[in-house]
């Protein structure tokens, strides 16, 4: 019943042209071009070491490619840094969870609001004027995300005490707290059991549906990728070997050879 | 009092006399939101008018599906304002199960919580159920739905406001037209046997039951309850709806199913209701956390729990307690019981009830000993969950108390509990046959439960009436009751009793491997496995002690005193649902076991000392094998019947 026919996929908002990245003599990415359209769920798949995470890191400015360009919303940038990426509405989660383990779920998600805070250090320390208003406004947004991702029961629990699947969800929550227009998810379902994967799939789809967030997703689990993505790019040894809808990718002989094996 | 004869009138009276007091609360986005009585009345009115605008008429049924939410409690009242009937349904039922009830109750209107329920109703609609209007309170995920007749509660209220303006006085005249003898709610019985049946209850029935409970336990407007049990269950309807509108206290709805324990602590209810398994879960949690506590804390806990065990319940019941124990208990209250109750969210509880299943004596005593006034009640959907209640200071773990105000209880010749009073159901919906079967000419409702009255007039439920048999001597034999008694011993995991039509009662016992294994370790008894352990003489004498204790208790129980266990054996394998010996809900299948272990049953009754048996077992991977053993049979001492002097 719900949606994908009605969710309007828009124009290209991110475009990578002939991107190459190497570390010393190791070529991580070779001449890769692909694009992401507004409101779509775009997956990048490939075997271990294919360059998936490198691609994500290029998009949000952690790595700077030696060749090629990234164009984001009409602006061409060769050396975008992470801060600029965050400011322009790109948020991400990490393959290995990067949360503040001693802090509560609520506080962790609050850190995602960092960029929205305009009040000065002094105002915050004294909790006066803008600081107070801002905190209440930010808390409301955070509470809406807690509600959205069903984290109410662990709101005040320190992250260190949570099971893995919930931690992953908290990471997603923190990324959403920045109200991103594009969300980069680095293996959101790695290491999860079936039930946790189903939950996560639902949350990814809901996020896309509810907020219209564009999602770029790296994933190992083929089933998940084929089910939830609009388009899939396939990398192997730093090269793009396939690109298209899940069905196209599934029947691409080169992809079958490189990745899907006997499938 | 004639003014207060329907739920809408009760609501209107609260809204008029104390408009700003809190009626409902719900935690939303981390903050408790409150509806005052006047707000509640207003929302109920808007929703009712909205329903009227859609064509909801007197006598129509309104399905209500979802978790405990203020909007849904208000929906009950909205339907009733228009002379309609609220039909709450279990929110976790799948579409297929819902279809039956939707069809049976001819549901055209439904107010539901969220997308999940909408999806199920739409699925049911494809299978020809008549649901034409589906109203949802939480719009998430439903933005793009375009099914006909689907709308949000917000838009319904808008519709209602306009309708109210264009039909002045219509709403009030509908409320006035409501009679106390109108059906107010239809609760479907779970249907373990056959299809679910709709139990029709009138305003009068539930208001009588609620008034009785409220006066019995002195509930007041400042009380707080946390409602977290399914709204389709009679218990929740009595505690969170009927008593809410009668006493005018505050009903609090938890944020989600997972946060109930946190919300319980924040609200600190004064009045609490839970089935035994909830109390059991809480206690297990406490015990596990105590294991991890520091040594000093553990020492304090053990020390003061011993004090509580000795004198806590007596202090609660106002009995004589030595001054030293009283002092120790108040110290314990500061150091252990108080903080413990705080952690459990039970600091403010004045009255707590449990019902629905037998509660273990240790479990029951634990809560009472730390000062929580936990009591039991007995009732079923057909009697508004209101037949007997335990009066304060007359608490026994094995009885369910005395007949509640305005209830008549008597026992049929076969021991079946019969109930008469205004709280008895009007009828089963569209099932005159079932109605005639369960309500007799004199107006008594036949509960299907067998019970006995003890010497102080407390009702004791012993079994399902159809399971109760007689020994050849004529003595009443309630196998379930005896088995439960045995199972309350930690060493006994399962028990099966035989005796109907025979001259004596015999028992199969399953030891609890963990408990008996631990005991054997402490006693330095070497064993190689379950079969070996079960056959040890030491284990037999351990179990004999338990059986004899059970016999001694039976001796004091009037009619049951002649059904004491004469002989028993300890089975060589655990009874297992995989071998069809237990149902999936772990009830023993007595008939099947009797057949499967025929030689053992015969040996018990013929007085043999040892019997060889070979049994098929199914392993978890699906393979089958067989195990054989020589099983010893032991005698147990029986006691002469004791009659307590009447109190």
- Domains annotated on chain B, with CATH: 2-201 (3.40.50.12780), 399-467 (2.30.38.10), 469-635 (3.30.300.30)
Residue A242 C-alpha, separation from nearest chain B C-alpha, in angstroms: 33
A3 touches chain B (CB under 8 A): yes
Residue A145's closest chain B neighbor by CA? B29
User: Which residues in chain B have their CB less than 8 angstroms from residue A140's CB?
Assistant: 29
**Residue A6 confidence (pLDDT):** 46
As to burial, measured by CB atoms within 10 angstroms (0-12 exposed, 13-18 middle, 19+ buried), residue A194 is exposed
pLDDT mean by block of 10 residues, chain B; 647 residues: 78 96 94 96 97 96 96 97 96 87 94 94 87 94 88 96 96 95 92 79 96 94 94 94 97 92 93 89 84 90 92 87 91 94 93 85 90 93 94 87 93 91 94 92 93 88 86 88 87 91 92 89 90 93 94 85 92 86 78 90 91 82 82 91 56
CB-nearest partner of B144 from A6, A146, A153: A6
Residues A70 and A108 in one domain: no
Residue B126 C-alpha, separation from nearest chain A C-alpha, in angstroms: 13
User: Which residues in chain B have their CB less than 8 angstroms from residue A1's CB?
Assistant: 119, 122, 145
Residues A258 and A141 in one domain: no
Task: Give the helix/strand (H/E) hosting B614.
Answer: strand B610-618
Residues A253 and A184 in one domain: yes
Residues A55 and A159 in one domain: no
A136 touches chain B (CB under 8 A): no
Residue B141's closest chain A neighbor by CA? A210
Other residues' Cβ atoms within 10 Å of the Cβ of residue B617: 14
Vertex B89: Cα angle to B88 and B94 (nearest 5): 165
Q: Flag if B141 and A209 touch (Cβ within 8 Å).
A: yes
Q: Rounded CA gap, B631 and B569, in Å? A: 7
pLDDT at A263 over 90: no
Residues A79 and A196 in one domain: yes
Tokens 């709610």: give the residue.
B185
Q: Is residue A196 part of a domain?
A: yes
Q: Flag if A152 and B30 touch (Cβ within 8 Å).
A: yes
CATH number for the domain harbouring residue A212: 3.40.50.300
User: Which residues in chain A have their CB less than 8 angstroms from residue B255's CB?
Assistant: 152-153
**Domain that residue A137 falls in:** 97-166
Q: Flag if A146 and B30 touch (Cβ within 8 Å).
A: yes
User: Which residues in chain A have their CB less than 8 angstroms from residue B28's CB?
Assistant: 147
Residues A186 and A262 in one domain: yes
Cβ–Cβ < 8 Å for A55, A30: no
Residue A65 C-alpha, separation from nearest chain B C-alpha, in angstroms: 40
Residues A4 and A36 in one domain: yes
A202 touches chain B (CB under 8 A): no
Query: Given A166, A188, A221, which residue is the final one in a domain?
Result: A166
Q: Is residue A175 part of a domain?
A: no
User: Which residues in chain A have their CB less than 8 angstroms from residue B31's CB?
Assistant: 143
Q: Flag if A152 and B259 touch (Cβ within 8 Å).
A: yes
Residues A4 and A82 in one domain: yes
pLDDT range class, residue A260, cuts 50, 70, 90: low
Other residues' Cβ atoms within 10 Å of the Cβ of residue B100: 16
pLDDT at A25 over 90: no
CB-nearest partner of A152 from B140, B144, B256: B256
pLDDT at A168 over 80: yes
Residue A152 C-alpha, separation from nearest chain B C-alpha, in angstroms: 7
The contacts found for A140-145 with CB under 8 angstroms, 24 or more apart, are A140/B29, A141/A113, A141/A177, A141/A179, A142/A106, A142/A109, A142/A110, A142/A112, A142/A113, A142/A177, A143/B29, A143/B30, A143/B31, A144/B29, A145/A109, A145/A173, A145/A176, A145/A177
Residue B116 C-alpha, separation from nearest chain A C-alpha, in angstroms: 12
Q: Rounded CA gap, B490 and B526, in Å? A: 20
Q: Is residue A172 part of a domain?
A: no
Angle formed by the axes of helices A164-177 and A194-211, to 10°? 10
Q: Flag if B259 and A153 touch (Cβ within 8 Å).
A: yes
Q: Rounded CA gap, A88 and B40, in Å? A: 45
Query: Given A137, A166, A195, which residue is the final one in a domain?
Result: A166
Q: Is residue A174 part of a domain?
A: no
A96 touches chain B (CB under 8 A): no
Q: Flag if A152 and B145 touch (Cβ within 8 Å).
A: no
**Residue A148 confidence (pLDDT):** 92
Residue A233 C-alpha, separation from nearest chain B C-alpha, in angstroms: 28
Q: Rounded CA gap, B543 and B141, in Å? A: 58
pTM of the model: 0.82
Residues A18 and A80 in one domain: yes
pLDDT at A45 over 70: yes
**Residue A193 confidence (pLDDT):** 85
CB-nearest partner of A150 from B145, B256, B262: B256
CB-nearest partner of B262 from A6, A153, A210: A153
Number of domains in chain A: 2
Residues A255 and A208 in one domain: yes
Over residues B19-77, the pLDDT tens digits come to: 999 999 999 988 999 999 999 999 999 999 999 999 999 999 999 999 999 999 999 99
Q: Flag if B258 and A3 touch (Cβ within 8 Å).
A: no
Query: Given A105, A140, A166, which residue is the final one in a domain?
Result: A166
Residue B90 C-alpha, separation from nearest chain A C-alpha, in angstroms: 21
Query: At a CB cut-off of 8 Å and minimum separation 6, what does B138 contact?
Result: B113, B114, B115
Q: Flag if A206 and B262 touch (Cβ within 8 Å).
A: no
Q: Is residue A173 part of a domain?
A: no
Q: Rounded CA gap, B611 and B569, in Å? A: 10
Cβ–Cβ < 8 Å for A41, A203: no
Average the pLDDT over A58-85 and give the result.
82
3-state SS record for A86-112: HHCCEEECCCCCCCCCCCEHHHHHHHC
Using the 8-state DSSP alphabet, how is residue A115 labeled?
G
pLDDT at A7 over 70: no
Q: Flag if A2 and B122 touch (Cβ within 8 Å).
A: no
**Residue B508 confidence (pLDDT):** 94
User: Which residues in chain A have their CB less than 8 angstroms from residue B140's CB?
Assistant: 148, 210
A4 touches chain B (CB under 8 A): no
Residue B30's closest chain A neighbor by CA? A143
Residues A159 and A192 in one domain: no
Q: Flag if A210 and B140 touch (Cβ within 8 Å).
A: yes
Residue A1's closest chain B neighbor by CA? B145
pLDDT at A67 over 60: yes
Q: Count Cβ–Cβ pairs < 8 Å, chain A vs chain B.
A: 37
CB-nearest partner of A144 from B29, B141, B262: B29
- Terminal C-alpha separation, chain A: 30
Residues A186 and A259 in one domain: yes
More confident residue, B418 or A79: B418
């Amino acid at each position: 019943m719900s949606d994908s026919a009605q969710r309007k996929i828009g124009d290209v908002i991110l475009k990578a042209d002939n991107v190459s990245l190497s570390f010393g003599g190791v070529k991580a990415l070779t001449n890769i071009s692909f694009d992401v359209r507004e409101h779509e769920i775009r997956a990048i798949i490939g075997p271990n070491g294919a360059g998936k995470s490198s691609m994500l890191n290029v998009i949000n400015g952690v790595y700077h490619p030696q060749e090629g360009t990234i164009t984001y919303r009409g602006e061409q940038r060769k050396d975008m840094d992470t801060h600029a990426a965050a400011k322009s509405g790109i948020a991400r989660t990490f393959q290995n969870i990067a949360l503040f383990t001693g802090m509560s779920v609520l506080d962790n998600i609050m850190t995602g609001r960092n960029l929205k805070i305009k009040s000065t250090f002094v105002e915050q320390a004294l909790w006066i004027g803008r600081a107070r208003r801002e905190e209440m406004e930010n808390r409301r947004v955070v509470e809406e995300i807690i509600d959205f991702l069903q984290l109410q029961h662990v709101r005040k629990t320190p992250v260190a005490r949570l099971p893995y699947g919930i931690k992953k969800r908290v990471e997603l929550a923190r990324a959403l707290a920045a109200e991103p227009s594009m969300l980069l998810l680095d293996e959101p379902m790695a290491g999860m059991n079936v039930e946790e994967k189903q939950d996560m799939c639902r949350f990814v789809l809901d996020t896309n549906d509810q907020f219209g967030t564009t999602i770029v997703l790296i994933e190992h689990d083929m089933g998940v990728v084929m089910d939830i993505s609009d388009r899939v790019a396939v990398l192997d040894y730093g090269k793009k070997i396939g690109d298209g809808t899940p069905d196209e990718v599934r029947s691409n002989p080169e992809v079958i050879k490189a990745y899907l094996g006997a499938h | 009092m004639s003014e207060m004869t329907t739920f809408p009138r009760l609501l209107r009276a609260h809204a008029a006399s104390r408009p700003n007091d809190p009626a409902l609360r719900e935690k939303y986005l981390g903050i408790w939101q409150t509806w005052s009585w006047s707000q509640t009345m207003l929302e109920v009115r808007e929703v009712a008018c909205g329903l009227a605008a859609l064509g909801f008429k007197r006598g129509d049924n309104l399905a209500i599906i979802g978790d405990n939410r203020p909007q849904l409690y208000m929906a009950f009242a909205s339907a009733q304002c228009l002379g309609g009937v609220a039909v709450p349904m279990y929110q976790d039922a799948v579409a297929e199960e819902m279809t039956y009830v939707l069809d049976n109750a001819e549901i055209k209107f439904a107010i539901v919580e969220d997308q999940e329920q909408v999806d199920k109703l739409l699925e049911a609609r494809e299978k020809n159920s008549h649901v034409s209007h589906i109203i949802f309170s939480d719009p998430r995920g439903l933005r793009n739905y375009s099914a006909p007749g689907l709308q949000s509660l917000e838009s319904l209220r808008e519709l209602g406001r306009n309708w109210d303006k264009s039909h002045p006085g219509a709403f009030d005249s509908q409320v006035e037209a409501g009679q106390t003898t109108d059906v107010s709610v239809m609760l479907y019985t779970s249907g373990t046997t056959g299809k679910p049946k709709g139990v029709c209850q009138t305003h009068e029935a539930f208001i009588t039951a609620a008034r009785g409970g409220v006066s019995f336990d002195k509930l007041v407007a400042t009380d707080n309850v946390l409602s977290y049990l399914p709204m389709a269950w009679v218990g929740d309807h009595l505690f969170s709806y009927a008593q809410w509108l009668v006493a005018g206290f505050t009903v609090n709805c938890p944020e989600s199913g997972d946060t109930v324990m946190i919300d319980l602590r924040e609200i600190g209810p004064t009045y609490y209701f839970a089935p035994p398994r909830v109390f059991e879960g809480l206690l297990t949690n406490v015990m596990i956390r105590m294991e991890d506590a520091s040594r000093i804390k553990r020492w304090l806990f053990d020390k003061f729990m011993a004090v509580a065990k000795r004198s806590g319940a007596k202090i609660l019941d106002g009995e004589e307690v030595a001054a030293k124990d009283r002092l120790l208990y108040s110290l314990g209250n500061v150091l252990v019981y108080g903080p413990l109750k705080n952690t459990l969210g039970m600091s403010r509880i004045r009255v707590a009830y449990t019902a629905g299943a037998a509660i273990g004596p240790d479990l029951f005593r634990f809560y009472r000993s730390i000062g929580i006034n936990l009591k039991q009640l007995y009732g079923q959907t057909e009697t508004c969950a209101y037949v007997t209640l335990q009066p304060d200071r007359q608490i026994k773990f094995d009885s369910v108390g005395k007949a509640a105000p305005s209830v008549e209880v008597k026992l049929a010749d076969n021991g079946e509990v019969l109930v008469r009073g205004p709280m008895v159901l009007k009828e089963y919906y569209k099932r005159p046959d079932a109605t005639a079967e369960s309500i007799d000419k004199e107006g008594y409702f036949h509960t299907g439960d067998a019970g006995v009255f003890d010497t102080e007039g407390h009702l004791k439920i012993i079994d399902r009436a159809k399971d109760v048999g007689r020994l050849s001597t004529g003595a009443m034999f309630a196998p379930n009751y005896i088995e439960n008694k045995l199972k309350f011993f930690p060493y006994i995991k399962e028990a099966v009793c035989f005796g109907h039509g025979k001259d004596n009662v015999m028992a199969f016992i399953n030891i609890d491997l963990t408990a008996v294994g631990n005991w054997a370790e402490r006693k330095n008894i070497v064993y190689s496995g379950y079969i070996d352990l079960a056959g040890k003489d030491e284990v037999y004498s351990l179990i004999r002690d338990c059986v004899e204790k059970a016999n001694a208790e039976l001796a004091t129980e009037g009619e049951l005193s002649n059904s004491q266990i004469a002989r028993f054996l300890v089975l060589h394998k655990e009874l297992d649902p995989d071998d069809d010996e237990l149902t999936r809900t772990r009830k023993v299948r007595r008939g099947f076991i009797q057949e499967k272990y025929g030689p053992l049953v015969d040996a018990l009754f013929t007085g043999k000392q040892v019997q060889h048996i070979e049994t098929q077992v199914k392993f978890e991977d699906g393979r089958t094998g067989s195990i054989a053993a020589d099983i010893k049979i032991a005698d147990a001492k029986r006691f002469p019947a004791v009659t307590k002097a009447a109190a």
